[in-house]
Each structure stands twice: as C-alpha cells, then as structure tokens.
Chain A
Amino acid sequence: MDRSVRRRRVVIASVMVVAVCLVGLQGANPARAAGVVTLNLYIGGDTNIFDLWKKAFLPAFTKRYPQYKANMVELLHDNGSEGIYAKILAAKRTGRTVDVDLWETTPGFLDQGIAEGLWVKLSPKLVSNVTKVPAPTLEAVDYYGLPYRGSSVVIGYNSQFIKNPPQTFDDLVAWIKANPGKFTYCDPNTCGSGTAFVTAAIYRYTSAEKFAAKAYDTKDEAAWAPGWKLLKELQPAMYNNGFHPNGNVAVLQLLAQQNIWMASVWSDMGLDWYSRGQLPKTMRFIQITPPLMGDDSRVMVPAGSAHLEGALTLLNWLLTPEAQTMVIDVVAGYPGIDWKYMPESVRQKFIDVAKAFAPWPNPKYLADIKRLWHEQVVGG
C-alpha cells in the first residue's frame, strides 16, 4: 500500500515536471524575432540537393534579404510527400493559410495540385525573372511550377572492367546481355535515373517528343509495347536476377561495392560521389546516343502560403545568375534560365553539355510508365 502511494507521488511529480517543461517550451519560441519572416521550405530529393539549398542558396539569399530566415524540411527520395500534399490540400479546403511556402517535389504532385488549384500561377508581374526561363519549360506546366535547375542521366561504368564502353543505346543493350548481373537501374518509383533508362527503351521504338508534349491519351500507350518487351527480356541479365534498388544512391552504392560495373546515374550525383572518394577511382561517365533523359526540377509555391511575398522573392532570386551559378558549381547541374543570361565564363565552360538530353515525358504519361513498368516488367 505504502509503495503504491509513493509510486503515485512519483507519477504526479513527473506529470508536473513535464507540464513545466511544456510551459517553458511555449515561452521560448525563437521564431518570433521582430521583423524577420521565417520561410518554410520543403525540399524533396537526394542529399546533394539538400546541400545545395542548405549550404549555398539559403545563406546567400538570407544575406541578400536579411528580412527573411529559412526553415527547411528535408524529404529524402520524396518520402512522406503524400503527407505534405495532404497538408496543402486540407489547408485549401478549410480556407487556412499553409506553412508550406515552397515545395520541391516530383512532377506527379505538381500535376495533381494544378487540378486542385493549389499553386501560384507564375507571371512576370509576380516574379520578374521568369522571363529569363525558356518559355517551353514553363508552358509544359502551365506556369505553375518553376524550373530552376536541370540535370541529365548518363551511363556510369567502371573502367577497371570495361575498356570499350557502349556508345549507343543498342550497344548498351548488347553489353547488358553479354554481361549478366553487372548492370541495373533503380526502381523508377524511387528515382529519375531508373526512369531515364526505362524511357530510353520506350523512346527506342517511338518518338520522345510525342510523350513529352501536353496531350494525354492512354490509347497512344500501345506504342510502348516493344519497349516493355525489351525491358522484360533484359530482366534476367540485371543485377541479382532482375533487382532494381530504391533510389539513385542505392545504385551508386552497388557501383561502389563493385556489385555492378555499369548503371544509369544522374550526372550531377555521380560526379559528386566521385569527387568525395565514395566511388572507385576507375569510375567514368559517358552520354550515349540518343542521349538519356534530362530533367528540369521544379519548385511550387502553394497559393495558400502564409508568407507569399517572401516565397516569391525567393523564387525571383533563384533565377538570378548568382543562384544559377551555384547550381553549376555545387551540384554540377544545368541552369534553369536560358544560357544567354549566364555569365560569360560559365557559358564558355559548359557550352557543350547544354541540352544534350532527351525530354522527360509529361506527368500523366510518367505516372503510367511507372505503373506499367511494375506491371509489365517486374510484376507478373
């Protein structure tokens, strides 16, 4: 009996301690410093993109605009993005502002949100620098997402084992068949570099431009059949009898552990890993013909953003040569603005790589490609 009384006292005491902690927590909210607005950014992607924002963009932006601070939420591989989408949608449905001021995510959520009216439609009036962005990339998403950087997928190979790397897509297919177990691409649901290989197989038998355009008709997807057949045929020759890991990073790890000798990888990530010594010294990167896909990464500003003015200021700054040069320097990406607005020195250095990649399919076709890949290639 005595012990239970004592125990109850302990319980009561701990509840009180917790309560005191809570009160303290409420009092010590640091974000309310006078005059400074904190922008909440949600960034989905891989670690190199987090570093681009955290270590390059945001320090420069807040130095240029000291009235803003940035608070960044990182979502690796866009894991959890369905929750962020639900948050933005629910805010709109209840007529509240949302504490998501800027979101970088997959084209699928951009597309879904357009139908729900979730994003700010960009115009030169709101963001004066959008005029520097090549018009087609903005028209592709009806001006709802801002393409601020690009990158392309290339073939990474270990020159210790491969002396004559494939030059064309057909060469690549022949090499995969001749070297079973030494190639793979990641699951297209989790990464762009895998999607690029899959679409390369599809584009092999049809036109890339057709599926990159805005029109969408499921009947046209019949043209993908030979692509599926080819990919299915390649399955036994893939690493681990047809295993496709999750995420771009997992593929790089397979290359690092020499489980595989060749893979499709993002040029920016591959170079980043190589320079950090996380890949064998014999790794090389090449582009094949026709080139693999490249992608413009887009950011959206929710129409219900609680700090709309700040978010638009940030968007505008992202399109300055200062920020765009960081894209090239930090992640070896391509600028989102037209090359002609880039500083002369940068232009000279990168003139060759500009736009040497195939276009990405539109979001609806992209969603179907991913689903059908699961049905036709790895499922069943």
Chain B
Amino acid sequence: MTAVQAAAGPSAPPWFWAIAGMRRALALGAFLALAAFILGPLLTLLVWAFAGAWLFPNLLPEFSLTWWSYVLGNADVVKAIRMSLLTAPVATAASAVICIPAAYAFARLEFPGRRLLLLSFLSANAFPKIGLYVSIATLFYRLDLMDTFAGVVLVQMINTLLFLIWIPTGTFRGINRTLEEAARDAGAGPLRTFFQITLPIALPGLIVAAMFAFLAAFDEAQGTLIVGTPNHITMPVMMYTLVLSYPQPVGAVFSVLLSLPSLAFLLLAQRYLRAGYLAAGYSL
C-alpha cells in the first residue's frame, strides 16, 4: 500500500479534485476499490486453478497441481487455440481491407442513403443471431463454405463490421480537411493524399478499431460452431464446455489457459492503448 501511495506522490494533483488531501485520498481509495473489483475475480480463479479441493470456510485451498496434468493431456485445446490464432487475424485484416475505405467514404463523401447505410451496420450486432442460424447455415452450404477455413473467417467478419466502420468513420471525420486540401493543392492525387496524409494521422484510431474487431472475431462462438465444426473448431467454441466442466478446479485451469492468448495480446496492444496513441482517433 505504502509503495503505491509513494508512487503516486510526485504526480501533480489533478485539477478536477485538487482541493484537499482528504478528498484526494478518498478518490484514490475509490479507484483502488475499483481495481480490487476488477482483479478480485481473476485472482480467485487463479487460486482455484491450483486448488486440489477448496471447502468452505477455508480461506485458502489445499494446493495441488493434479488438475493441470489432467488438463494438459487435452490435445484438442491446443488445436483450437491455433485455429483461433489463425482465423481471427485473417478475419480482422480482411474486414479492415474492405471496411476502412468504406469508413472513409462515410466520413468524407456525400452519396445517397449515406446515413441510412451507416446505420444499417448496426444490425450486424443488434439483430440476435439466434434467429439467423438456419438461413446462415443454408447460405454457407450453398457456397460450399461449411467446415472450411474461409467459412470461419467469413462468419467471424460479421462481428467486426460495426467496429471497423463506425470507429474509423469517427476518426476520419475528426481529421482536419484543410490538411488534405493543402496536399491536393500541392498536386498530390487523391490516393497519394490518402496514403501519405490521411492514413498516418488516422492510424492510431484505426488500430484501436482493429483491436476491438480482433477481439470480436476472436470471441465469436455461435456462428463458428455452425460453420466450423467438426474440423475447424476455435477456442471460444470449446470454451463453454471446458470452463464449466467439473470439478471446479478443472474449469479454473482451463480458464487460466484460455486467457493466456488474450492476455498476451493485451501486452502487445498495451502500447496502442496508451491514451496518447488513441488521441487522434477523435480529434475534433
């Protein structure tokens, strides 16, 4: 505790509550409580993952690694993690290639039905998929995409559309037009202007959008179950079965294992999540 407070010491008091030290301590306490709320469930899970048995009212379980050997014998999990790590990036990249030009058009160009079309992308996330299963499966059979890599990528792309259209549209809209106009005046063509002026300024916002899209693709389970089984199974498809399997420590071990790829991604993305990097996303 003291170390944390010491770490906070040198920073200037934020303007919006810098009245009394008391107030500041209260706010700090509130944030630490919130941090405990965020970390508590995950730490509980971590303890469960190393528990042989944990009966009430013991504060800590009997520690044991038995469940790990039980879980690590499961080769399907490794296969599914690999499939997830292949499909989600491809889905994100493919979606970005078609969505980012579209977002630029939504932000910069006037065309009939612009607002309605922009709004229509909401339906990708707002229409409950449960009503669509049979139609989607029928379509994928007709296109011979059932149980194929391309099919899984396509079905994961549905979830990415909203993030890769809406957030970049906001980003492009926020970029000052005069910069682009100056480049055009200097004789640069539209493509050159886009790639050399607009894109670099928008990049941080686009990266954030791509990150949300990646997570959405990575988490897709329902569509992938239909289109991907039996040979193209991703991690989320197995997740429910593994995490809620019994006994409880087994679920916890799987939870820890299955969180690892995402948490590795968190470390990679940390750089882009830093507030400064996000800024250009919404410069108004």
Contact = CB atoms under 8 A, between A and B. Distances in A.
* Touch test A–B (CB under 8 Å): yes
A247 B244 contact: yes
Contacts of B229: 40, 42, 73, 84, 87, 99
- Counting chain A CB atoms within 10 Å of each CB, the highest count among B140, B146, B203 belongs to B146
Given A18-B90, A99-B146, A99-B147, A93 B138 contact: yes
Contact of A257 (B55, B89, B142, B238): B55
Interface in A231-256: 247, 249, 252-253, 256
B51 to A, nearest CB: 11
- Counting chain A CB atoms within 10 Å of each CB, the highest count among B90, B149, B231 belongs to B231
Contact of B53 (A76, A82, A277): A277
- Counting chain A CB atoms within 10 Å of each CB, the highest count among B142, B196, B226 belongs to B226
A90 B138 contact: yes
Given A89-B134, A90-B141, A257-B55, A76 B86 contact: no
B203 A87 contact: no
Contact of A47 (B225, B226, B245): B245
Interface string B33-59: 000000000000000000001011000
- Counting chain B CB atoms within 10 Å of each CB, the highest count among A87, A100, A256 belongs to A87
- Counting chain A CB atoms within 10 Å of each CB, the highest count among B55, B130, B147, B225 belongs to B225
B224 to A, nearest CB: 9
B240 interface: yes
> Which range contains the number of B residues in contact with the other chain?
35 or more
A307 to B, nearest CB: 11
B230 interface: yes
Interface string A6-47: 011000000100100110011000010000000010100011
Contacts of B133: 82-83, 86
Contacts of B193: none
B118 interface: no
A80 interface: yes
Given A73-B233, A94-B142, A277-B53, A252 B241 contact: no
Contacts, number: 116
A278 interface: yes
B244 A87 contact: no
Interface string A266-295: 000000010011101000000000000000
Nearest to A79: B240
A74 interface: yes
A4 interface: yes
B257 interface: no
A40 B230 contact: yes
Interface of A: 1, 3-4, 7-8, 15, 18, 21-22, 25-26, 31, 40, 42, 46-47, 50, 71, 73-77, 79-80, 82-84, 86-87, 89-91, 93-94, 96, 99-100, 247, 249, 252-253, 256-259, 273, 276-278, 280
Smallest CB-CB A-B distances: 4 pairs: A90-B137, A86-B133, A76-B241, A40-B230
